[in-house]
Structure 1
Amino acid sequence: MRSLSLPLLLAATACRVEVGSPSGPVTADCPGAEPEGEVWVYTSMYPHVVERFEALVRERHPNLEPSFFQAGSEKVAQRVEAEWAAGSSPACVLLTSDPFWYAKLDAEGRLQPYLPPTSLRIDRSLVDPDGAWLAARLSLMVLAANGDRVPEAERPTAFSDLTGPAFRDRFTMGDPLASGTNFTLLSFWAEEPGWDWVDALQANGLVAAGGGSAVLQRLDSGERPVGAILLENLLAAPHTSAVPIFPTDGAVVIPGPVAITAGCPNPVAARAIVDLLMSDEGQAVIVEGDMYAALPEVPPPDGAPRLGDIAVRTWGPGFVERVSTDAGAIKDRWAALVSR
């Protein structure tokens, strides 16, 4: 697909709505169009964040009737793809945490390009060059240790420490086959330091199961006193014994993209949802949910460092496209590894 510069893309989409149909694209002028009617949002955001955002939508757009399907990223993907396979889906806005899935959908023509005005304020690495999606929120994968069971001097300082004998049978993470954020973490590891290191991590007694809540439970119980977990899971659990560790070899920033589907039955409403989510008000809801806003000037969540103050892994050129292409092979290799 030909890429447009961001200002040109904004200009090209500012006054039209295009909806795919069997007979070709349907184009409608949109100046003055008021969002109304039902609009479905499929999302992996936490339920309490969804509730706050829904309240904001209803306050700002009283003629809209937003409906939300909330589940993990993988379950959202499975549902919408099953609906498409059956003929159609009501999903208009997709808001999950797996950038690689969005690259796949874009390549398949499943997304309609749209960027809200605030996208000009977002780091270019967090905006699809074709305008098919952009990051609406940022999660941060960090290390954590049970503060009661692991003295500070014995805690890992980097992900690279985890294959050492000090952490044998002590480390846990979520399941990359069920969690989009843990799949992203695995994909970074597969590129650097590589699969040999991942093999060594598994051989060192890794437990990879469930999502963030399961990892936090194993950390708190001491079953596995060291783990990889999203910082937001720790911030949302003030009474946890787990303490965050910002790895010196880079915490992994995981964008949570938002996009509009090509077959959206209410594109004016979908654009209004995206605009509100990416506004200062919408981004404040994200931060209240213990995640980082995509807009860089919005302060981090309470208790979280600014991203510029810690080491982070960067999303290099072509990374999303490579992993999107290789996702099946990465998952197959991981499944074979953990089944040994």
Structure 2
Amino acid sequence: MKNALLHTLKKTTLALALGAAVAAQAASATELTVYTAVESDDLQKYAQRFNQAHPEITIRWVRDSTGVMTARLLAEKDNPRADVIWGLAATSLLLLDDEGLLEPYAPAGVEKLDPKFVDQNTPPAWVGMDAWVAAICYNTIEGEKLGVPMPTSWEDLTRPEYKGHVVMPNPSSSGTGYLDVASWIQLWGEEQAWTFMDGLHDNISRYTHSGSAPCNLAASGEAVVGVSFAFRAARLKSQGAPVEVVFPSEGLGWDMEAAAIVKGTQNLEAAQTLMDWAVSREANELYNEGYAVVAMPGVAKPIENYPADIVERMIDNDFSFAAVNRDRILQEWQRRYDGKTEAR
């Protein structure tokens, strides 16, 4: 009886000691506020892996679409609330850098990245993570039932048979929507691109606030055609959705998810730790689970439902043009087309 009581007391003391240690660690952990536009179903995976590597840092994630996050950061310019931006479009980070919102930092190992994924300033204001690429989701069942053929090009979407069957992201709120518009302008020039978008608008049933929403709607049969991005389209097809992933013949717009430190952060050392992890091989291998193109050469393996020549199909993207002209392009787009945008 006495031995059992002593054993119980020892177990209780050990449990209390462990609990006190965990509580002390949590109390001493540095909290980072991180703004992100990473897809929700991947964010949890990335966060868990970082937490395993760095339990001394607690992250408060604030997630929304690219356009909303960019607008929020600009609105908070004089009183920043975030410590780090992680997984936002490079075009947005170029704009934020021009506004003086980023703290330059060269993460440990940045020299191992493809130079086109790294800001050219020394030290860089931002570093890239992966590239997301424009694509079209086509619902094969609904398309056959309604007599809407599978498109093979962007121009196909302006044909009469697509009227009312196309969903696209609003470029003001969605980074995918903006990369589409900016890439069409780079492909064809302003006049031809706006003429194309006029014809496309006639066939649009609605504009969404999310880049993945058009593909989700096509997968569920609520739309025949969703202008979206390859990662979402490929994943839905792999999960058994009745969709085909279409890579338009004219070329594919793209942007990269990138990370940066917000100038003025009171947690600079912890922010730098997150940036170091963001460019690591471990992180790039995680990015490659959904994205065929990642920042670190030699890491990327083929992704199911992506073409082997995906890199060759990506346009020669001028990120500076897309960033500098962003406000002007969005204002013109809103003037012409915003009436079909869904309510929030």
Shorter-chain-normalised TM-score: which range?
0.7 to 0.9
Partner of 1:60: 53
- Take 2:158 and 2:205, find their aligned partners in 1: how far apart are those partners? 9
Which one of 101, 112, 126 corresponds to residue 121 of structure 1?
112
Partner of 1:239: 240
Change (3 A) 1:82 1:307: farther
Partner of 2:313: 312
- Calculate the TM-score normalised by the size of structure 2: 0.78
Contact 2:103–2:125 at 8 Å: present in 1 too?
Answer: yes
Partner of 2:263: 262
1:64-111 superposed Cα distances (whole Å, 9 cap, x missing partner):
2222112222222233333333x342x121023322221121112211
- Take 1:61 and 1:214, find their aligned partners in 2: how far apart are those partners? 33
| 1:287 partnered with 2:282 | no
Partner of 2:38: 45
- Take 2:247 and 2:329, find their aligned partners in 1: how far apart are those partners? 26
- Calculate the TM-score normalised by the size of structure 1: 0.79
Change (3 A) 1:221 1:266: closer
The 10-residue stretch of structure 1 (276-285 or 45-54) with the greater mean CA deviation from structure 2: 45-54
Partner of 2:17: none
Change (3 A) 1:54 1:209: closer
Contact 1:172–1:224 at 8 Å: present in 2 too?
Answer: yes
| 1:226 partnered with 2:188 | no
- 3-state DSSP of counterpart to 2:77: helix
Change (3 A) 1:170 1:140: same
Computed over aligned residues only, the root mean square deviation of the Cα atoms, in angstroms, reads 2.7
| 1:105 partnered with 2:96 | yes
Unaligned runs of 5+ in 2: 1-27, 340-344
The 10-residue stretch of structure 1 (230-239 or 104-113) with the greater mean CA deviation from structure 2: 230-239
The 10-residue stretch of structure 1 (172-181 or 218-227) with the greater mean CA deviation from structure 2: 218-227
- Take 1:148 and 1:331, find their aligned partners in 2: how far apart are those partners? 34
Q: Aligned letter for 2:88?
A: S
Contact 1:141–1:253 at 8 Å: present in 2 too?
Answer: yes
Instruction: State the Cα distance separating 1:168 from its structure 2 match.
Output: 2.9
Partner of 2:159: 164
Write the mapping of 1:185-196 to structure 2, written as runs, cut at 5 A.
185-193=180-188, 194-196=193-195
Instruction: State the Cα distance separating 1:254 from its structure 2 match.
Output: 1.9
Partner of 1:179: 174
Instruction: State the Cα distance separating 1:246 from its structure 2 match.
Output: 1.8
Q: Aligned letter for 1:181?
A: T
Partner of 1:275: 276
Change (3 A) 1:339 1:38: closer
Q: Aligned letter for 2:337?
A: V
Contact 1:133–1:259 at 8 Å: present in 2 too?
Answer: yes
Partner of 1:133: 126
Q: Aligned letter for 1:239?
A: G
Unaligned runs of 5+ in 1: 1-34
Q: Aligned letter for 1:105?
A: L
Change (3 A) 1:74 1:144: same
Q: Aligned letter for 1:189?
A: W
Instruction: State the Cα distance separating 1:335 from its structure 2 match.
Output: 0.9
Q: Aligned letter for 2:137?
A: A
Change (3 A) 1:267 1:301: farther
Partner of 2:210: 211
- Take 1:120 and 1:307, find their aligned partners in 2: how far apart are those partners? 26
- 3-state DSSP of counterpart to 1:95: strand
1:17-49 superposed Cα distances (whole Å, 9 cap, x missing partner):
xxxxxxxxxxxxxxxxxx962222111112332
Contact 2:152–2:247 at 8 Å: present in 1 too?
Answer: yes
Which one of 150, 154, 160 corresponds to residue 149 of structure 2?
154
Instruction: State the Cα distance separating 1:306 from its structure 2 match.
Output: 5.9
Contact 2:36–2:61 at 8 Å: present in 1 too?
Answer: yes
Contact 1:170–1:223 at 8 Å: present in 2 too?
Answer: no
Instruction: State percent identity of aligned pairs.
Output: 23
The 10-residue stretch of structure 1 (96-105 or 181-190) with the greater mean CA deviation from structure 2: 96-105
The 10-residue stretch of structure 1 (304-313 or 325-334) with the greater mean CA deviation from structure 2: 304-313
Partner of 2:67: 74
Instruction: State the Cα distance separating 1:233 from its structure 2 match.
Output: 1.6
- Take 1:79 and 1:333, find their aligned partners in 2: how far apart are those partners? 21
Q: Aligned letter for 1:198?
A: M
Instruction: State the Cα distance separating 1:120 from its structure 2 match.
Output: 2.8
- 3-state DSSP of counterpart to 1:236: helix
Instruction: State the Cα distance separating 1:330 from its structure 2 match.
Output: 0.8
Instruction: State the Cα distance separating 1:177 from its structure 2 match.
Output: 1.6
